[in-house]
Amino acid sequence: MPLKADLATPSNPAFEEVPIEGVRDYWNARPCNVRHSRQEVGTREYFNEVEQRKYFVEPHIPPFADFPRWRDKRVLEIGCGIGTDTINFARGGARVTAVDLSDRSLELARRRAEIFDVSDRIEFHVGDCEQLDQLIAPQRFDLVYSFGVLHHTPHPERALEHIASLMDRGSELRLMLYTKVSYKLFWIMRAEGVWDMGRIDELIARNSEAQTGCPVTYTYTRGELSRLLHQFEIVEAHKAHIFTWDVESYVRHEYRKDAAWANVNDQQLAELEQELGWHWLIKASLR
């Protein structure tokens, strides 16, 4: 099939039929980043190591979130997971409302907030972002932040409608969504021995996360981003993040560059990420 035609087609419509309970079960079985530390789960040492590892392999997160900027501001985080970014918004002085579908993830996020003494700055809600109006009373947030979450819900456009209702023209939306064409896509296709571009939704969903078999994983071209975010003005959107570490070593908590990336310097990597990064980093405001 011609590549151009394949990339013009919408993401897999079968994702729309996935029950939200299946998504919840997947993330409850293994919350995101839960194995980023070998310390006892729920301890201060555990959470510190989880944070260090997360930001070491994804160094674009702190500058994108810009935690200090939101001091004394109201932040809504959609899909807070086990609370790494959540705690850093609160540490920076923001008042945070954090939502996640996974009650197992929120157990750890609440524990984290207690350990780091920021519980008074965070309000946690368990629930579906597609039904945000049932979780959060009408109000206005300075920042709505969602990093790597909305592409895992069956109907992201529904979540975005609710998000828009909690913003005004002075609010900002910051999103990370997965890109359709990335180095990760080609790595997956090579690993599976499948080069049919008509199957990329299936391949990426199966391999998008550390735990295989994610029920829903949408990916987006720039044009699809514009359609998804039609009620917003996209101020900035660029690609970031190519995972360059040897996977077997990484699983052992060792950091050794994959042979393919051993001689690629930081500047070269940054240039490649602009074309083949796995993450869309998006800043937007209401139209």
What whole-number distance in Å separates Cα of residue 73 and Cα of residue 44? 26
Mean pLDDT along residues 248-259: 94
| Beta bridge pairs of residue 234 | 284
The pLDDT of residue 8 is 33
Judge residue 16's burial from the number of C-beta atoms within 10 Å of its C-beta, 0-12 exposed, 13-18 middle, 19 or more buried.
exposed
| Beta bridge pairs of residue 35 | none
What beta strand segments (E) does the chain contain? 74-78, 95-100, 122-126, 143-147, 172-178, 232-240, 279-286
What whole-number distance in Å separates Cα of residue 231 and Cα of residue 227? 9
Mean pLDDT along residues 48-54: 97
Residue with tokens 């309970």: 21
How many helices (H) and strands (E) in the chain? 12, 7
pLDDT-derived band at 2 (thresholds 50, 70, 90) equals very low
Other Cβ atoms within 10 Å of 12 Cβ, number? 19
DSSP 8-class letter at 219: -
Enter the tokens of residue 7: 């990339």
Kindly give, in sequence order, each residue whose CB lies less than 8 Å from that of residue 263, ignoring residues fewer than 6 positions away: none
What whole-number distance in Å separates Cα of residue 149 and Cα of residue 193? 28
Enter the tokens of residue 31: 């919350």
The pLDDT of residue 63 is 98
What whole-number distance in Å separates Cα of residue 113 and Cα of residue 111? 5
Mean pLDDT along residues 235-264: 95
pLDDT surpasses 80 at 223: yes
What domains are there in the chain, each with its CATH number? 3-286 (3.40.50.150)
Whole-prediction pTM: 0.94
Mean pLDDT over the full length of the chain: 94
Q: Would you put residue 224 in left (φ > 0), alpha (ψ -120 to 50) or beta?
A: alpha
The pLDDT of residue 12 is 54
**Four-residue CA torsion sign, 16, 20, 25, 28:** positive
